[in-house]
Amino acid sequence: MDKIFDLNSVDQYNELYGLETLNPLVSVVDLNKATRRMEYVHWHYGVYALYLKLEKACDIRYGRQNYDYQEGTIVCFAPGQSTETTITNDRIQQNVLGILFHPDLLQGTALGKSIRKYTFFSYEANEALHLSEEERAIVTDCLKIIRMELEHGVDKHSKTLLVTHIELLLNYCMRFYERQFATRSRANHDVLARFERLLDDYFEGPLAERDGLPTVKYFADKVCLSPNYFGDMLKKETGKTPQEYIQEKVIEVAKERVAGTDETVSRIAYSLGFQYPQHFCRQFKRRVGCTPNEYRARNDR
């Protein structure tokens, strides 16, 4: 029950479920064709994986939460992540399609250089991609094409074609996630409002001086989202990254304190979480166009 599988090859996955391996670096999986059942498995991923779940047949835990993973949803995992999967019905086969590919497949390719932009590989438990019927058909078609290419056999074009079709699939997922951000706009606005309150509380209380400048992860944890999902959602809603949002808030509060109090610049810097006043002064001048003391002098007139 507690065994952890280090999933370092697609063949390991196929062997556990009794599936055929056509290429050592990439596999399109169809658990409807599984000949073995794994009631519980704790994966530690060394490969990339994307699963399309066509019915509610298993639960996936990532960290301390269950995935928001129902019928017609996609979840993705990247090397270094760990999950626990528990089957919730009595069948050997599960209505799940997916693709696993090893990082070595991407070496020397454009996708290898840009794989980090597909931030949904690091989304967490409540952040699955919910597909419409049309979107589901597109994903299924992409997987069918990759499967056909695997069945074609290996030649000098194989790697290029496989990586191209995988990149197409990932780009569709990016599009679908952007659609999901839009359709969840009300919930996103609630998250944004909470983020702004948390920002205010951070700098109004003792947290900044005690703990230093806040991180994106700090606020993502507070709103129960992964840093990547939080960042992508905020960028979609505001056009700014969380880091840009935080930096603007720091300067906004700094301007208020420089112009509205008699505190020294060093004291203001420490109260905002800067370890060194010089760093604060450089950032202030870069964003405001003058030093804190110059800004204070202008506002004293």
Structural domain boundaries of the chain?
4-183, 186-299
Burial of 64 (0-12, 13-18, 19+ CB in 10 A): exposed
Which token pair is 192?
A: 């944004």
Read off the pLDDT of residues 221-262 as tens digits, 9 standing for 90 and up. 898 888 888 998 898 888 899 999 999 999 999 999 999 999
Read off the pLDDT of residues 20-62 as tens digits, 9 standing for 90 and up. 999 999 999 998 898 887 777 788 899 999 999 886 555 554 4
Say yes or no: do domains 4-183 and 186-299 share a fold.
Answer: no
- Best CA proximity match to 16, nearest among 67, 108, 134, 31: 31
| Distance (Å) of CA 28 to CA 14, 15, 262 | 10, 13, 65
Largest CA distance in the chain: 81
User: How far does the chain reach from its first CA to its final CA, in angstroms?
Assistant: 72
Q: Answer for the pair 98, 49: CB distance below 8 angstroms, yes or no.
A: yes
Query: Residues for the chain: how many in total?
Result: 301
Instruction: Give all strands (DSSP E) within 79-213, no chain letters.
Output: 82-87, 96-101, 129-130
Q: CATH code for 186-299?
A: 1.10.10.60
Q: Where are the alpha helices (DSSP H) in 205-264?
A: 207-211, 216-222, 227-238, 242-260
Which CATH topology does 4-183 take?
Answer: Jelly Rolls (2.60.120)
**Would the pLDDT of 157 be above 60?**
yes
Read off the pLDDT of residues 190-229 as tens digits, 9 standing for 90 and up. 888 889 999 999 999 899 999 999 999 999 989 888 888 8
159 vs 43, which has greater pLDDT? 159
